[in-house]
Structure 1
Amino acid sequence: MTNRHYFCLEDKAIPAHQLAASVLDFAHSRQVNKHKLLRSTGIFHEDLTSDKTLSSLQILKLLNNAKSLTPGYDCGFLLGRRLFY
């Protein structure tokens, strides 16, 4: 990484075991297939249990997959509630 004072979408700076693992856990509780959830994100199940970091773009793709695969219209609300309680 160069001497920048900002992050780009592709910069890996978000710990995988926090947000991504929470999204995966939430989707699993709603019977979403984890392989479909992780498809096209570049995130692997092993990344969630390690010290790997993810990019904002990977997280956005994961959240988009969760939204489209989770039944009902309350995915965003329920996920936000889970993250902040």
Structure 2
Amino acid sequence: MEVWADESGCITRYNLAYINHELYQGDNGRVIGYDNAHGYHHRHYFGRIEPVDFVSFEDVEDQFARDWTALRSKR
């Protein structure tokens, strides 16, 4: 997890990722990821990239945790 904040503590940039090269070899091993690079909020999931509605950074953390938990329950 990488998070950047401005002087007031507002999150300006973030990158959350679960990387496992054994599970997925594409996208540098990124199985699940959320970030706001390239000017928009989006999700990486086994190589697919899709925009996400941004509510708050805490919501993104919750979405990431739900994805990771769902993935773990499938294994």
TM range (shorter): 0.3 to 0.5
TM value normalised by structure 1? 0.33
Relative contact order, higher structure (CA 8 A, sep 6+)? 1
Higher strand residue share: 2
TM value normalised by structure 2? 0.37
